[in-house]
Amino acid sequence: MSLENKIKSEIKNNGFVTLDRFIEICLYDVESGYYIRNNPIGKRGDYITSPEISQLFGELLGLYIIDYWNNYIRSEFALIELGPGKGTLMKDLLRISKEFKEFYKLINLKLVEKNKKLELIQKKLLKVKSKDVNNIEWLEDIKNINNDNFIIIANEFFDCFPVKQFTKINGQYYEKIVKYNEYEEKFFFDKIIIKDNIKNIVADIFKIRKFHEGDILEISFEKDNYLKTIGNKLKCGNGLLIIIDYGDYFSKGKSTIQSFYSHKLTNFLDNPGTQDLTHKIDFSSIKKIFTDMSLKVYGPFTQKNFLESIGIEERKNQILQNSSSDLKKDLIDGYNKIINKDEMGEIFKVLIVSTKKINLYEK
């Protein structure tokens, strides 16, 4: 059955699907979900990410985690990447870290990936490039990883999680749902009144955030649970989590869901399973999860500020000294794209979560 028919049949049985269920089917359906079937990343895909734009991105993250490891771990550890895409970030990170032999030989590399097509691309790239890394393992979920020490990197991972939307109209709380119009042959948004237990959660958050009538609250329970699983692992062991994603310091009470096909914004409900469905991260809610767990949380910093603070300009200048003019142009273009305020430098943010206090940020 096609993905569209699967959604229609669920709507026929239940009268509707909730927004997060619609996203879940479109992205993760076991047969035809977008993140199960496609290779969406790159010029020929639907979007491009920072590590695909510049080698500096993975290299700088490498240098940052080596420094963390030197100060706070210094023993065997799991280096985990959530949603490694084409494997480029990890390739660049491993290349630079090879020079730090003690660090390199204690890596247990774990790649958490749901997309089998991307997993194959990662295997091809990383098995060749990292022959002498202790062991490499691919997993579908972080909950299956049990090490004492962790360094976890998630670039553009959490914006993939299915999200719910709630609003308040005339004192009544509603959830966004999707229905199908048989006559016009298209999906459309609608809303239903929400029930008691979830209504209390939503009403509390509306109050805490000082949201008004008509504002939109986005919540991904699945994402929150995933973050709590990571938080528990950090608490029981020792380590670092770096989250990089596009989003806001605080939710502005507006809808942030978007869909992309071939680098263009599209209609969210069209062509299920063939386009990327995403939302902007509300960093304040992620921060709260980890501070509530008594972990050390730093940031969010803009991608520009974070990369500059850890030496991206110096690294760029170092590479430029030994590059041909073509390479120089690519390097400078890539650097500008990931750093510039009106490109990826400001909308992308970096959040650091650590078991131990990081001296650099404790002033």
Q: Considering beta carbons, is residue 49 or 256 the nearer one to ligand SAM?
A: 49
Report if residue 245 touches ligand SAM, rule: CB under 6 A: no
Question: What part of residues 91-120 is at the interface with ligand SAM (CB under 6 A)?
Answer: 112-115, 118
Stretch 195-234: interaction string toward ligand SAM, x if CB under 6 A: ----------------------------------------
Q: Of these, 84, 162, 272, 300, which contacts ligand SAM (CB under 6 A)?
A: 84
For 206-232, the DSSP string reads: HHHTT--TT-EEEE-HHHHHHHHHHHH
Report if residue 34 touches ligand SAM, rule: CB under 6 A: no
Tell me whether strands 238-248 and 149-155 are parallel, antiparallel or unpaired. parallel
Structural contact between residues 219 and 131, judged by C-beta atoms closer than 8 angstroms: no
| Cα distances (Å, whole numbers) of residue 197 to 90, 178, 193, 274, 288 | 42, 22, 12, 35, 21
CA atoms 138, 73, 156, 220: torsion sign: positive
Q: What three-state secondary structure class fits 341? A: helix
Q: E strands along 27-171, which residues?
A: 77-82, 107-112, 135-139, 149-155, 164-169
Q: Considering beta carbons, is residue 115 or 238 the nearer one to ligand SAM?
A: 115
Pick the closest to residue 180 from 2, 1, 14 (CA basis): 14
**Shortest distance (Å) from residue 231 CB to ligand SAM:** 17
**Shortest distance (Å) from residue 161 CB to ligand SAM:** 7
Q: Considering beta carbons, is residue 134 or 225 the nearer one to ligand SAM?
A: 225
User: Using CB atoms, what's the residue nearest to ligand SAM?
Assistant: 83
65, β-bridge pairs: none
Q: Considering beta carbons, is residue 32 or 49 the nearer one to ligand SAM?
A: 49
Stretch 147-186: interaction string toward ligand SAM, x if CB under 6 A: --------xxx--x--------------------------
Angle between helices 19-28 and 3-14 (to 10 degrees): 150
Binding span for ligand SAM by CB under 6 A among 79-87, 247-255, 267-275, 321-329: 79-87
Pick the closest to residue 34 from 275, 280, 278 (CA basis): 275
Report if residue 41 touches ligand SAM, rule: CB under 6 A: yes
DSSP state of 322: T
**Shortest distance (Å) from residue 181 CB to ligand SAM:** 30
Structural contact between residues 298 and 352, judged by C-beta atoms closer than 8 angstroms: yes
Pick the closest to residue 266 from 50, 2, 12, 26 (CA basis): 26
Q: Of these, 23, 56, 89, 230, which contacts ligand SAM (CB under 6 A)?
A: 89
**Shortest distance (Å) from residue 118 CB to ligand SAM:** 5
Q: Considering beta carbons, is residue 84 or 273 the nearer one to ligand SAM?
A: 84
Structural contact between residues 212 and 253, judged by C-beta atoms closer than 8 angstroms: yes
Binding span for ligand SAM by CB under 6 A among 66-74, 83-91, 256-264, 352-360: 83-91
Pick the closest to residue 30 from 59, 1, 73, 62 (CA basis): 1
Q: Of these, 46, 52, 175, 218, which contacts ligand SAM (CB under 6 A)?
A: 52
**Shortest distance (Å) from residue 114 CB to ligand SAM:** 4
**Shortest distance (Å) from residue 326 CB to ligand SAM:** 23
Report if residue 306 touches ligand SAM, rule: CB under 6 A: no
Site residues, ligand SAM (CB under 6 A): 35, 41, 49, 51-52, 83-85, 89, 112-115, 118, 155-157, 160
